[in-house]
Each structure stands twice: as C-alpha cells, then as structure tokens.
Amino acid sequence: MTGETPSDPHPIGLKIRNGSKIYPGTQALKNVDFDLRMGAVNVLVGENGAGKSTLMKVIAGVEQLNGGTIELDGREITFSDKSDAAKHGVGIVFQELNLFPNLTVAENIFVGHEKTLGGIHIDKGAQVAAARALMKRLEQNIDPDVPLGNLRIGQQQIIEIAKALAENARILILDEPTSALSAAEVEVLFRVINDLKKQGVGIVYISHRLEELIRIGDYITVLRDGVITGSRSMKGVDIPWIVANMIGSASKEFPKTVAHEMGDEVFRVENICLPSPAGGYAVDHMSLSVKQGEIVGLYGLMGAGRSELLECIMAQHPNSTGRFFIEGKPVKEKSVAGRIRRGLALIPEDRKRDGLVQIMTIRENLTMSSLRDFTRGFHLSLKAEADKAKEFVKRMAIKIASLEHPVSSLSGGNQQKVVIGKALMTKPKILLMDEPSRGIDIGAKAEIFRRFASYRAKRPDLCGPGTLEFAVACPHMSGNREKTRDPFRQFLCPPAGAFFRSSPANAGCGTLADCLQP
C-alpha cells in the first residue's frame, strides 16, 4: 500500500501492526498489518474462515488481540469492549444479526444509546422520529413501531445498518451487509456509503460478492488463513487478481454441464395460499410442478413471498392452505419432521434463527435432522453419527478445529456449509434452497454448485430464492433481467415475484471468472 503523504486524500485513521489473535484450536490472525483509510471504502475479502470478521471484531472492541498494536489517529490504543470502541467513533454492522425480536424497530436502533428526556426517561417520540428519518434515508417503508421479529431477514439487515448509522460513527465496519439484500437495496446502501465517504467517514466493507467490492472499494486487503496476501489501491484490481490472492490460483472451474434427461414429475404444489397479517396474501394461489432432475429458480424482490412459499411447503405456517404431492401421492403430514420423512428438506434463509442451534456442537447440528439413521432400537450409535458428521465436514470442506466445538465458533460461511450439510444428510427427494450460498466464498460456492449439479443428476431439486446466487453458477442468469429471460422459460409471475424454470442445458457452466464478468 502506498504510504501516507501530506496531500493524502485518504489519511490512515486506524492502523493495526503485527496483529495476532488465537482462539482455541485456531490462530485466526497472524502478524497482520492493516491500514484503515478515512473518507474511503476499505474492502476486505478472503475465503470462509480467513479471519475477516475476527479482524473487524478487534477493531470494534469485541475481541482483543493476543499480540500486536492498534493505533487510532497515530496513538496506540486498546478498546476494552464494544462500547469503548463506540466512544472512540467505531461502529459495526455484524455479519450475524444482533437484534432483539421482541423490541420494536425503533427500540432496536437505539438500544444501548437510548435517546432520553433529561437523561432519565427514554424519549420514545424522539426515537421513533429518528428511526423514521433513518428509514427514509435507507428508502425503506418500515414502520418504526413494529416488533423487529415481524420483519424478514433482509429488512432486519437494513435495521442493523440503520442502528450503526444512528451512532454517527467516524469508522464504520460493514461485515457482509448485503448478504440478504436484493439489488435495489444494495443500490440504496451504496448511495448512503458514498455520502458517508464525502463526510470523511472511514468504511470497511466485507463481502463475498466480488463485483460489489470492485464497484464500491477504494482500497482492498485480501486475507488468507489469517495472513494478509494482498493490499493495495483498488485501481486496476479485477476479479482474477482477487481470486488469485484469495485462493492462490487464478480461477476455479464451475462444473461443466452434465447432460441428463429430466424424469417424470416428482413434486407438485397446488394452490398454496398464505394469508398476510397485513391483509391479502403473502403467498397468493401458487402452483408449480417439478420433474426428477429439474432445478426450478424462484425469483422476486424482497418481500415477494419466495421464502414464505418454501416455508409453507415445509409445514412451517399452520394457517397456509394448498395441496402437495410427492411422486403423485398426497402429502398429508402436517409437521416439519413428517415432511422431512417424506423427502423434503429446506436450507433456510436465516441460518441463525432457523438453521442452527448455536449452543450445540458442529456434530449435533449436522446430524440433528438425520438421527433416525443412527438409531438402532432405542440406542443412538454415537460412532455412526460422528463418522457421518466427519464425512460431511470433509465433503463440504468445512473449516473446523473440532467436531465437538459449538457451531457458533465457526465463521459465518462455514456455519452456512453446516446448514447445507444438515439438509443433504437427510437424503432429500426434493431440496428447497433459500439463498443457499449466503456468505459462502467464491471457491466454496463453485464446489457447492458442483455438488448440486451432480446431485441433481440423481435427485430432483427445487431451488428457492437463491436465484441471485445462482446467477454466479449460470452465466446466462447474471447481469440484467432481460438476459435472464433468454434461456429460462417464465413459469409463473405473481404480482411481486416470478418463477423461472431452468432448461437442463444451462445449469452451471463456464469458469468462475466468466461467470462473474459483467
């Protein structure tokens, strides 16, 4: 990276020198030197488990270094905790959302730094007004008085961003802020980031969407296994450079198209309706059918009802109506467990809420939906269970120190791989995937799509709102919507969302670099 000069438009606000961080069984940061420049977007990229969130937690006071120093405005400093860092002007949007579902949107935004009347009572009116102004700034139509738990994960992510903006931080860290956002919200966030930059705020931006990094970044730092492998101005940086520094080779192959025939209809959904609490329908008389070996993409804006449709299929909404058939036989089971037994599995959108039990071990999380497979009579074969968990850790390349560590000790992307492994372990006939590659790095994404492609040859898949993520696997689907129309026959178009049905020829082809070129 170029050094500081008197005319430097982006002076270094915070510096880490020789930073090391050790967790039980893992050295997450190894002698890291990191410069955070003010009035600029400093992007940070690296594979799952590379140490990005750890480095940011150190800057935000959530974790402390085991070795090395932090300098703020040229002076060495230690942050005792998050509020200490906040006092020094550091704000963070965490990768995993940290909100209170039973508090309102406004209360969540101001939790820990409440607006008060005379320093005693909470000034609810002022909080609601400020929250409303923040929603306007983020171009969101969200009522500050609704309980946060009523919002879907994308909207919750926006509330996290609003919460950080409300602190007026001088240094703002955004750890995968867009993983649950669709294109329209990303544009709004980028406008807000550009305004903050003009005000001199130093921003750190982490994402696995590499094209986003190139668009928004002024400086880039690449981490691999806790070591910085590249650090420079963003000028001239392209995706192959990032990938080479991230994974040590220029490109990873996506699976070549495996020609295969689609079989008979294996799954049919008729007339699914889910009433919306606000009136009308969240899922409005949807029907579709899936053939053996077919991937159906579900596409729509935030709030279009994509996730809700998949949740209805998994029996998660008792007030939904409609009929399901697997291999022509009606699905009468009303419980999630019953539907799993019939061969349905869901990779949910919100891994923290629906996908994992944070306090349980990696092994327990992987196997919890497949325990029947390891039961002999009344006994659970712990060895069979552990062997299966080990096999999936290897197959999915999950970066762990021990199967017996809590799943919460894994990096975000590795937690996502556990969620995918857990669904695949049930050997589903129909796999529902809701943003399956959320937070997953580029190499792992290629690996997972390769797995899905080979899996598809044997089993039918129904693919959920991961369409945007799927854009990475299918070059034809990247770019604008017009392009996506071309190879996909539109299947159904509800008011806010749309289905596209893939033809067998266009799933997963080309190289990674091809897929990501605009």
Ligand X SMILES: Nc1ncnc2c1ncn2[C@@H]1O[C@H](COP(=O)(O)OP(=O)(O)OP(=O)(O)O)[C@@H](O)[C@H]1O
Rounded CA separation 93/317 (Å): 30
Residue 497 binds which entry of ligand X, Mg ion, none, CB below 5-8 Å type-dependent? none
Helix or strand (DSSP H, E) at 68:
strand 67-72
Residue 437 binds which entry of Mg ion, ligand X, none, CB below 5-8 Å type-dependent? none
* Residue 176 C-beta: closest distance to ligand X, Å: 7
Helix or strand (DSSP H, E) at 480:
none
Q: Side-chain half-sphere of 425: how many Cα atoms within 13 Å?
A: 30
Residue 367 binds which entry of Mg ion, ligand X, none, CB below 5-8 Å type-dependent? none
465, amino acid identity: P
What is the crossing angle of helices 153-166 and 183-198, to 10°? 10
**Of residues 108 and 411, the one with the C-beta less far from Mg ion:** 411
Rounded CA separation 119/123 (Å): 9
**Of residues 98 and 140, the one with the C-beta less far from ligand X:** 98
The angle formed by the CA atoms of residues 383, 346 and 54, to the nearest 5 degrees, is 75
Residue 92 binds which entry of ligand X, Mg ion, none, CB below 5-8 Å type-dependent? none
* Residue 183 C-beta: closest distance to ligand X, Å: 21
Site residues (vs ligand X, CB under 6 A):
23-24, 26, 28, 46, 48-54, 95, 399, 409-414, 439, 441
Site for Mg ion in 81-110 (CB under 5 A): 95
**Of residues 95 and 104, the one with the C-beta less far from Mg ion:** 95
* The token pair that represents 125 in the structure block: 């009116």
Helices marked H in 199-335 — which ranges? 210-216, 239-247, 306-313
**Of residues 175 and 308, the one with the C-beta less far from ligand X:** 175
* Residue 324 C-beta: closest distance to ligand X, Å: 34
Q: Which residue's CB comes closest to ligand X?
A: 413
Residue 50 binds which entry of Mg ion, ligand X, none, CB below 5-8 Å type-dependent? ligand X
DSSP string, 327-350: TTEE----SHHHHHHTTEEEE-S-
Among 19, 300, 412, 436, binds Mg ion (CB under 5 A): 412
Rounded CA separation 149/368 (Å): 25
CB-CB contact of 146 with 155 (8 Å):
no
Site for Mg ion in 24-63 (CB under 5 A): 53
**Of residues 412 and 460, the one with the C-beta less far from Mg ion:** 412
**Of residues 46 and 475, the one with the C-beta less far from ligand X:** 46
Q: Which residue's CB comes closest to Mg ion?
A: 53
* The token pair that represents 456 in the structure block: 């598809």
**Of residues 28 and 433, the one with the C-beta less far from Mg ion:** 28
Residue 409 binds which entry of ligand X, Mg ion, none, CB below 5-8 Å type-dependent? ligand X
Rounded CA separation 477/100 (Å): 36
DSSP string, 191-223: HHHHHHHHTT-EEEEE-S-HHHHHHH-SEEEEE
* Residue 96 C-beta: closest distance to Mg ion, Å: 8
Using CB under 5 A, list all residues that contact Mg ion: 53, 95, 411-412
